[in-house]
Structure 1
Amino acid sequence: MTDKAPTSQHPLRLSTVILPYRRWREGARDAWVRAEELGFHTGYTYDHLSWRVPFRDGPWFGAVPTLTAAAGVTQRLRLGTLVTSPNFRHPVTLAKELISLDDLSDGRITLGIGAGGTGFDATALAHSEQEAWTPRERADRFAEFVALLDRLLTEDTVSSDGTFYSAGGAQNIPGCVQRPRLPFAVAATGPRGLKLAARHGQAWVTTGDPKLFETGTPEQSLQAIRGQVEKLTAACDAIDRDVAELDKILLTGFTPERGRPLESVDAFVDFAGTHRDLGFTEIVVHWPIPDTAFAADQKVFEAIATEALAQLG
């Protein structure tokens, strides 16, 4: 394990998450178009069937159709999920949708993928008395899910008999526009997930340490994230992979700073620079949503998008 987090060899990028809670013609389309105009590197969306309060009992649209529509109104903006999980996905059908989406966007898709959690849509496909999977079950399923999805997106025909997921002569012609397949951004903090990121990922995603969200300090958060980067480095070292090959993505809004980095350009520059020094190559901010945890001044948000990276040098 390294004593110090590796310094990024890549320029820092700024991306955004646009939550799919608005109708396309009532603001959603405009946000995706504006994200490209502002120069964001990637526009992501959550891949859930529903999400937490205040969105739990309101409108919420599907990720793949949303990204398909976004591909049609943008030309340069990369698009992706942050994140997809096995909670309600199967590798065979997901692979077909991703190949189609990669084609429609002319190779602009990144698949953010994680093991999933216990809330919201974790039991949406279960019978009424079934409980959400345990952490071990989620990890077992995730490992099999990612490995099979990797094959489905790189091989023309795949047959596989798994414990949780199988494929019987699944055909995936013509494959992805991006070769050998579209990139995986693997969300993980535990040892098994970090091994998956090291083996299958082109990027790694973290939201920080969730245990510090309510009562931790920014300094404790930085130390925890530094430890995650060191563990990712160790996972890469174990398979003789250079950790610098992986982009390192921080999804903001879930560390003790919460929304404070979006209060001003200077505040964001300080926050982003500190995490860049830990080796991060991409910072992701939520598109402002009034009266929620993701509220922010739209003018300040747009100033951050257009000015912050230049100040970081």
Structure 2
Amino acid sequence: MDAGVGGAAGTGMVVVFYRPDAACVKRANRLGYFGTCVVVDNTEQVRDAAALGLEPHIVYLPNGANLGIATAINQGVETLIARGCSSAILFDQDSEPSDELLQALPRTMERELARGVKVALVGPAYEDGRLGGIAPFVRFGMLRLHRIAPVGTGPVEVDFLITSGSCINLGAWPDIGPMDDALFIDFVDLEWCVRARKRGYSVLGAPELKLTHSLGGEPVRVFGRPYPGHGALRHYYQFRNAIALIKRSYMPWSWKSTELVKLPGRLVIYSLFMSPRTEHLKMALLGIWHGLTGRLGALSRG
């Protein structure tokens, strides 16, 4: 078994690539020196690790097509389980964690497990300067999210964490199950966290740990407030998966109520303030229709 991150035995990392640039490759190569690092590449028609510039210590899984974030994470996690790892830290290709974060996440997990806490995953607070700095952790609440300031030194119970920077307890993976492939992208992390909590596992935010992470593209400002910018295709998945999950009985009504309140506002913002406006509106409405009719997976352009 490989030594894990910061000397914690059995911790590996999964990085998902999609059309990476040289900086993404450099970041992945660095992670590989902290433990087993699996790069799952969703880039179309790319299958050569050496041509990308990945070093030999990286475990490279090329899909040759975009199979979605959920499938890629599942492939990486299953690879780490097969190699005997007990935990997996997930990263987007543009995430650049500090040495401290790489060491502290698995140690926090181990400490909580030793205390008898049934942990699914532990994650840091994330910081995106474009959106106003360090984002709060959240709990679901009727009609609105309850925001928890990332302060203090002890882990706090939350309802979900974003994928990048999350450290998963692989001992819980068979019980909770893999990420939902059908969602493809968007709400994948949230849906998995809901299933984990339904099975009695804790989802823990570590307020003393921070990860610089860019949420989406360049934000747009609406009445002085920044909103993450995405392409029209990404908004298709956001609306489709929100509707699809609202229809699922195991999703909590507290979350459903929040989404039902937010969806009309998002539709207005995306169709009026993001260019090209007609395309954003078209893809959002298509996503709503496919969510209602149960059409999931990758959007076929055929």
TM range (shorter): under 0.3
Q: Which has the higher contact order (CA 8 A, sep 6+)?
A: 1
Compute the TM-score of the two structures, normalised by the length of structure 2.
Answer: 0.27
